[in-house]
Amino acid sequence: MLDAYSLDTQPLDGLGVDMVPWVLTSVGTGRAIDYVYIAELYPWQGTNGVTYGAPLVLDAGMLDALPGQEEQPPGSTVPLYFADRGYLTAPIDSIAPRRLYEGRVEGFSVERRLPLSPTDSRRVAGTFGLLRLRNDDGMLDSLPDSFAIQGRRVVVKRIVRGQDLSEAVPVFDGVGVAWEPGDGVMGLTVRDRTALADLSLLPTYGGTGGKDGPAAWSGKPMPGVFGIGRWVPLECYDTALGLFRCHFRRIKSVLALWDKGGAYTFVGDYPTEAALKAASLTGGQYATCCAEGLVRAVPAGLSYAGTITADIEGDAEGGYVETHAEIAARLLEIGGLGDLVAGGTVTSHAAYLPGACGFAWTSQVTVGDAVSAVMQSCASWWGDDRTGMIRLGRLEEPGVPDLELVPGSGLLDVTPSTLPASISPAVWRSTVQYRRCNSVISRDAILFSADEATKAFAEREYREAPPAANSLILPRYPTAPELRINSGFDNPGPASDLASYLQALYARSRGAWACEVPLAVAASLWLGRSIWLEWPRHGLAQGRSVRVVALPEDVGDRIATIIVWG
């Protein structure tokens, strides 16, 4: 039996809880659901040298409610607890008996939205409102000067009054950005945890000489290669010995090396830069120090004919990675977010997109932008969920629904929503490109001695897998769009599979709908969940299986407008 919910207009009078205009009642249990929103802030206590208002002190009632707890000394993390109504946990609460949450939360909203089009940004779109704390008494005036919140953890949860804290449901688990004092309000801007990925991916040269680069390279990003990068351009840091850096740390191998299309012969791999320097090489040969991401190439003539390029099996620190999911997880690990990646989503993503791929960066990029580039190349998405964990996934056909939304049972209103132009009304052809040449050279510029296969590869940035198309769409929709994806795949098979997946997903005429539902319904949903939707209008009279693609929540509202697609 599918779950269902109804709206009860009875107040909570006589139930031993605060009065609210109306409450939600679960059809299955008949019990009233009285939600309380709690906020837990974990700033760093310490002065920034500015005096602003009176120093913040813990309320005496709070100290009484927390036996044995004292104010923390400067230079430590101090938890601050607030709620939309004053809330005291039970004496037998398993996490924090008799913890007091001050009733200061005045407003907070959050929405997460999956990208519908493969051409959209691949990070789950998070919109986070200002966390507003009532401050008409001035008790929070000193927060900006006494507590550093930037990059510190901020958690908002929803709990049914009387439940144990262990049963509280996360609504937001992210980081603070800045305090925003206002008239009678202390505001706090927040971001999801993917904000921590907005840091530079590539380390830079110090300019001290040797593999740290010449003085002119000081501050210049080192190259980064993940998976298999073809024809990655290299720069020489030691012209006397012909030493190049391929990657900023350990790599798996350098499969091949060219000078303007002329192939070099591989000699061997050496454990250190010193051993690589001492290796005996003749003209037209190359050797590697994979442990340090280095390669040495001796010119075939008096000097190099052009830019040295290499086929590199890249980052192998902790093991070589080559699928989109593995590379995305490795990038997040480098950014310090490895512990936040939900490993199950990496495994499942690698299972349905198993092909080897590769990406190379020779100019600076943030970890977040690098992950987005990897996920966009395979029409997938990444982002954090309500719990703050980072997940990888892709949009799929609606599955078997386990929740029914129909008029009078969990559904208040439905209005049509707009689909992106890149997939509307239907896609007539999907083309996926593969095996990128990272250093394109015109046929006229390549060495005459290079073979035809090398010339053909070097003059085009991508190869193109056979497209997937539906000949019935264009006669019906003459302006129907075409999808074109520059994948990171190295071989045509996985690229063709991706084209078939895209065409099957977007060749049909799809729709999106905004659905008003009670908070109790929205609280039971997650992004990507399949549900059954019926409504007398908008093509839904016979019902339709759809997926949840946008999920909002507002502390001040017990109605949520979700977006579904199918």
Q: Which amino acid is residue 445, in one-letter code? A: A
Please report whether residue 304 resides in a domain.
yes
- Are 214 and 253 members of one domain? yes
* Tokens describing residue 541: 């009279």
Domain presence at residue 58: yes
Q: Which residues of the chain have pLDDT under 50?
A: 1-31, 47, 49-71
Which residue type sits at 297? A
Within this chain, do residues 84 and 184 fall inside the same structural domain, yes or no?
A: yes
Residue-level pLDDT at 75: 67
Domain end point (choices 277, 295, 315): 315
Question: Is there a contact between 193 and 174 (Cβ–Cβ < 8 Å)?
Answer: yes
Please tell me whether residues 47 and 116 are part of one structural domain: yes
Provide the pLDDT for residue 437.
98
Which pair of tokens denotes residue 431? 């083309």
Residues 188, 238 within the same domain:
no
- If asked whether residues 157 and 239 sit together in one domain, one would say no
Examine the domain organization and report whether 61 and 179 are in the same domain: yes
Q: Is residue 162 part of a domain?
A: yes
Mark which of 474, 506, 538 sits at the end of a domain.
506
Q: Which domain holds residue 438?
A: 426-506
Give CA–CA dist 345/353, Å, rounded.
Answer: 12
Tell me the pLDDT tens digit for each residue of 237-295: 999 999 999 999 999 999 999 999 999 999 999 999 999 999 999 999 999 999 999 99
Final residue belonging to a domain, choices 290, 315, 340: 315
Query: What is the pLDDT at residue 524?
Result: 87
pLDDT at 165: 97
Q: What is the pLDDT of residues 457-513, one digit of tens each?
A: 999 999 999 999 998 999 999 999 999 999 999 999 999 999 999 999 999 889 999
Same domain, 44 and 193: yes
Do both 485 and 379 map to the same domain?
no
139-162 burial: b if 16+ Cβ within 10 Å, else e: bbbbbbbbbbbeeebbbbbbbbbe
Query: Domain tally for the chain?
Result: 4
**Domain check: are 57 and 186 in the same one?**
yes
Residue 23 lies in a domain: no
CA distance 186 to 146: 13
223/189 same-domain check = no
Are both 142 and 247 inside the same structural domain? no
| 338 shares a domain with 260 | no
Tell me if 562 is assigned to some domain: no
Within-domain flag for 334: yes
Strand residue runs (E) in 131-274 = 131-134, 147-148, 153-160, 169-182, 185-192, 224-234, 236-238, 243-245, 251-259, 262-263, 265-269
